[in-house]
A and B are shown apart, each in its own frame.
Chain A
Amino acid sequence: MNLPPQREAAGAGRVPSIRLRLANALLLWTLVWGLGVTVAVGYAAQGEVDELLDASLQSSAALLVGTLPVPSRDANATDGALPVGAEGEFAWQTVGAGGAVLQRSANAPVQSLQAVATPGFSQTESWRVFGAALGSDGRMLYVAHSVRERAEARAEVALSAALAAISIGLLGHGWLRARVRSELRPLERLTEKLERHDPLDPAQALGAADRAELMPVHAAIDQLGQRLARRVAHEHAFAAHAAHALRTPLAGMEAQLAVALRESTPAVQQRLQRVRDASHRLQRVVQSLLDLFRVGSEVQRQAVDLKALLAHLPIEGLEVSVQSPRPFTADPDLLAAAFANLLDNAKRYGARQVVVSTPAPGTLRLQDDGPGAIPERLHELREALRKQDYEGHTGLGLMLADLVARSHGGSLSLPRTEQGFAVELILDKADGDERAV
């Protein structure tokens, strides 16, 4: 029931991974989260930081109004009780009623920040200005932030917010990935259990599900296993019944024909012999069909004596020899069924000799001296065996031999040969993967 490894590997390449999909989704969510938080914080910061800075300008103006010294006559003098460093981005001016700058901080422009008296907030190209009247003689106090500094403040706030959001997002991403991996672990355990699970063996029950979501899966697998076990039991019962129902009359025909052959005239004997030959073919077909029922149900491997096994499968008119056999294990009944069919095939297709060898461990090769198959037919047979699409493409013999090989974890291969027809029964899983048809 397990998928062959090559199919499994090929399938894993095509089928999306739940873990990978969730990881990708989490990564995307992290990026969207970071971007969203950055935009939101940036938008909020623009208004809030502006308000905060404006409030500080206003407060500074109120403070300065009460603390400013007597104005100097030198308009370019930079005296003040609250000196501001040249590097500072905060400036102030007192401007007379005529628009002349009376006092200013060191980094304030020489010209008035506003050409006309402008109380309250206003904006120039480089400054954000707050104007307040100094008494009733028309003098004005202007305090200002540089526009560049205000932009830097906003950017710093937005950047900090973005970094914080992305950090939180990445931390969350890592944590969620670990959770996903952890939550998918029961699925991996179920897979491992299923690899060992044999629904026909009550000792290897699947066990209880360890996640609520997997309970329906367990229930479905259990039901499937029960259906399979019932079906296998039915097939075994049918095979046993069919075996008895078919074999006994065939044996009766054989015995009656043997007696009739002895008692009849030579002319009748020829006819009876033809009937007996047909009966033998029928016996082989019946045997093959009965073997088909057994393939895949259970394989009882044991060391096989190739010569002894072939000695029990005489095909009249076909000389079978064994070349330097290596020891191997297989189900002798199934292997005998496969050999009987392949040898019968060889004879029917004109071979007189078949050489059986073991070119590799777990691989049995039958090479005949018949006319072989044309390349197109060979290609069709190989494709049919590869896809297990037997109907209409292969005969009963090749089909049975392929099923026997597959039931051992291998496959049937039709290697190229210069003369005759060759079949390789690969009965070993590792070899089967490498040498698949």
Chain B
Amino acid sequence: MRLLLIEDDLTLGEGLRDYLRADGHRVDWCERLAATAALADEPYDALLVDWQLPDGSGLDWLRARRTRGDTTPALMLTARDRLGDRITGLDSGADDYMVKPFAPEELSARLRAVSRRSGAGVARSRSRFGSIEVDLVARAAFVGGERADLTAREWALLEALVLRAGRIVPKADLEKLVHGFDSEVASNALEVHVSALRRKLGRDLIETVRGLGYRIDEAPT
């Protein structure tokens, strides 16, 4: 998943970034809300937002994003543990609420949960698309029960499409979701990954919608 992490504490921000990257996610980490302005149009699979930031409230930032119609799943990361705070956080647009300190393993699991619940079309961590089975927790795809050997980029592409199953994902968004914000990527890299995935998982899994992008069929079983 491509994630935007907004956390001003260096120890925590760096730790979470490294942990989530090691988990296979692409993580953009901002220490200030101001830094997110440049990323406003970037597609993300989920947002990890601290409530109290030096230049403002992460909650207000999220609320403004929701007002603009953004539905990206969001997790509040905060030291505020009161019942009222949790209710406020969830009512302001957060999909989940994590009180510091928390185990990164739990954050990772909750990320998967909110992504599944976010209307991406995948209600379970393990889903079947025809003869292909995708396990988002194990980060693996199976063809006829056999585990396919996917590279990190190929998995990122597959995950981005599975999380948005049934929807056309624009090529530009896919490139960002797969490669992240600060990677230098060849112009045809995405087509290369799509081609590799079709070779490994079958030609029918990923549909090309000419001029718009790519799509994996809805109705996973």
Give residues in A with beta carbon < 8 Å to B: 240, 243-244, 246-259, 262-263, 283, 290, 294, 300, 331-333
- The answer to whether A249 and B99 touch across the interface, beta carbons within 8 angstroms, is no
* One of B19, B22, B81, B100 near A248 (C-beta < 8 A): B100
CB closest residue in chain B, given A255: B15
CB closest residue in chain A, given B11: A252
Decide yes or no: A244 and B104 within 8 Å by CB, A252-B12, A254-B15, A259-B22 being known contacts.
Answer: no
Closest 9 CB pairs of A and B: A255-B15, A252-B11, A252-B12, A251-B100, A250-B101, A251-B101, A247-B79, A247-B100, A256-B15
B121 to A: closest C-beta gap in Å: 28
- The answer to whether A248 and B79 touch across the interface, beta carbons within 8 angstroms, is yes
- The answer to whether A254 and B83 touch across the interface, beta carbons within 8 angstroms, is no
- The answer to whether B9 and A252 touch across the interface, beta carbons within 8 angstroms, is yes
Any A CB within 8 A of the CB of B68 = no
Any A CB within 8 A of the CB of B80 = yes
Q: A86 CA to B141 CA in the complex, in Å? A: 142
A110 to B: closest C-beta gap in Å: 114
Q: A333 CA to B81 CA in the complex, in Å? A: 9
CB closest residue in chain A, given B15: A255
Q: A213 CA to B79 CA in the complex, in Å? A: 50
- Beta-carbon contacts under 8 Å, B17-53 to A: 18-19, 22, 52
Any A CB within 8 A of the CB of B82 = yes
Decide yes or no: A253 and B11 within 8 Å by CB, A243-B80, A247-B79, A258-B105 being known contacts.
Answer: yes
B 90-102 binary contact with A (CB < 8 Å = 1; else 0): 0000000001111
Residues of A within 8 A of B79 (CB): 243-244, 246-248
Residues of A within 8 A of B60 (CB): none
A247-B99, A250-B100, A254-B101 are known contacts; what are 5 more A-B pairs with Cβ within 8 Å?
A243-B79, A243-B80, A244-B80, A246-B79, A247-B100
B116 to A: closest C-beta gap in Å: 20
Q: A243 CA to B81 CA in the complex, in Å? A: 9
Q: A263 CA to B52 CA in the complex, in Å? A: 30
- The answer to whether B83 and A258 touch across the interface, beta carbons within 8 angstroms, is no
Q: A64 CA to B103 CA in the complex, in Å? A: 128
Residues of B within 8 A of A244 (CB): 52, 79-80
- Beta-carbon contacts under 8 Å, B96-119 to A: 99-105
B72 to A: closest C-beta gap in Å: 22
Q: A252 CA to B50 CA in the complex, in Å? A: 13
- The answer to whether A249 and B102 touch across the interface, beta carbons within 8 angstroms, is no
Decide yes or no: A262 and B22 within 8 Å by CB, A249-B11, A332-B83, A333-B83 being known contacts.
Answer: yes
Q: A300 CA to B13 CA in the complex, in Å? A: 34
Q: A331 CA to B18 CA in the complex, in Å? A: 37
Q: A330 CA to B91 CA in the complex, in Å? A: 23
B56 to A: closest C-beta gap in Å: 15
- The answer to whether A255 and B19 touch across the interface, beta carbons within 8 angstroms, is yes
- The answer to whether B9 and A248 touch across the interface, beta carbons within 8 angstroms, is yes
Decide yes or no: A255 and B16 within 8 Å by CB, A247-B99, A248-B100, A250-B101 being known contacts.
Answer: yes
CB closest residue in chain A, given B83: A333
- The answer to whether A240 and B80 touch across the interface, beta carbons within 8 angstroms, is yes
- Beta-carbon contacts under 8 Å, B56-80 to A: 77, 79-80
- The answer to whether B12 and A255 touch across the interface, beta carbons within 8 angstroms, is yes
Any A CB within 8 A of the CB of B14 = yes
Residues of A within 8 A of B14 (CB): 255-256
- The answer to whether A300 and B100 touch across the interface, beta carbons within 8 angstroms, is no
CB closest residue in chain A, given B104: A258
Q: A1 CA to B77 CA in the complex, in Å? A: 36
Residues of B within 8 A of A259 (CB): 15, 18-19, 22, 104
Residues of A within 8 A of B105 (CB): 258
B3 to A: closest C-beta gap in Å: 14
A333 to B: closest C-beta gap in Å: 6
* One of A258, A263, A333 near B82 (C-beta < 8 A): A333
B150 to A: closest C-beta gap in Å: 21
Residues of A within 8 A of B11 (CB): 249, 252-253, 255-256
Q: A256 CA to B100 CA in the complex, in Å? A: 14
CB closest residue in chain B, given A241: B79
Residues of B within 8 A of A256 (CB): 11, 14-15
Residues of B within 8 A of A253 (CB): 11, 101
Residues of A within 8 A of B100 (CB): 247-248, 250-251
- The answer to whether A254 and B103 touch across the interface, beta carbons within 8 angstroms, is yes
A161 to B: closest C-beta gap in Å: 77
Residues of B within 8 A of A246 (CB): 79
Q: A244 CA to B54 CA in the complex, in Å? A: 13
- Beta-carbon contacts under 8 Å, B107-136 to A: none
* One of B9, B82, B103 near A249 (C-beta < 8 A): B9
21 A-B contacts, Cβ less than 8 Å apart?
Answer: A243-B79, A243-B80, A244-B80, A247-B99, A247-B100, A248-B79, A250-B100, A251-B9, A251-B77, A251-B100, A251-B102, A252-B12, A253-B11, A254-B103, A255-B12, A255-B15, A256-B11, A258-B15, A259-B15, A263-B22, A333-B83
Q: A247 CA to B82 CA in the complex, in Å? A: 14
Q: A69 CA to B24 CA in the complex, in Å? A: 152
Q: A233 CA to B10 CA in the complex, in Å? A: 30
Q: A250 CA to B52 CA in the complex, in Å? A: 16
B48 to A: closest C-beta gap in Å: 11
CB closest residue in chain B, given A244: B79
Residues of B within 8 A of A290 (CB): 81
B12 to A: closest C-beta gap in Å: 4
CB closest residue in chain B, given A248: B9
- The answer to whether B101 and A247 touch across the interface, beta carbons within 8 angstroms, is yes
Residues of A within 8 A of B15 (CB): 252, 254-259
A406 to B: closest C-beta gap in Å: 20
